[in-house]
Amino acid sequence: MDEVLENPYYDITIPNADRVLPHLFIGNYAAGEDEKFLTDNRVTYILNLTPDKHRKRLEGITYLNLVLHDSAHEDISRVFDQAHDYLTTVRLEGAVALVHCHMGISRATTMTMSHILLSGKIYDDIDEHRESGKMYASRGFADDKASSAGEQVSFAEVWRLVRTRRKCALPNPGFVQYLGLLEMKLTGQSTPSVKPSDLPYEAYVELPLEI
């Protein structure tokens, strides 16, 4: 418990966010109201996945609020397409978005994973993107596992990428099931080793890096 309390990701009063894709940060609610963070990282789109609308809205930023609760019973898939369309617009414009919930652990990471699955490919080369504002299709992952640009990625690959870049990423078991169903719809199969119905919540906390 002491380790959890000392983890900066769990302090919702301090802005924190991680760049997961060239056009996308995952962060907490505080990051969505931190003008310095948003300005320094040229964030011009915010996708808020909490029931709480931002009290402080900054000029030049486009906001979308999709109300979701971090519950295993919440059908998060009902807004997969809407969020994907929004984030695709960001990518095509060469812009940058912050996707956040309260802590940037469950809802925001789930929505990011669904966006990558629906895109069919993973975007990388963050430093070059930061300099030019352009998108580059990745030909590899953080662990050098090869993947051709445009190839449909698996849930396991997406999970590994997001967990590598956002260490606290952990969708609740219900959300994992919806991601598995999305993968099934897109590929006709679901990553066999990720079956939340067969695992207690704590059992797959460290699973992503082992897939």
Residues labelled catalytic: 101
- From the number of C-beta atoms within 10 Å of its C-beta (0-12, 13-18, 19+), residue 161 rates as buried
Which positions ≥6 away from 128 have C-beta within 8 Å? 134, 136
d(CA 189, CA 123): 23
Nearest to 156 by CA among 115, 120, 207, 203: 207
Nearest to 24 by CA among 128, 147, 115, 157: 115
d(CA 208, CA 194): 9
Q: What is the CA 122 to chain-centroid distance, rounded?
A: 12
Strand partners, 195: none
Q: What is the CA 39 to chain-centroid distance, rounded?
A: 20
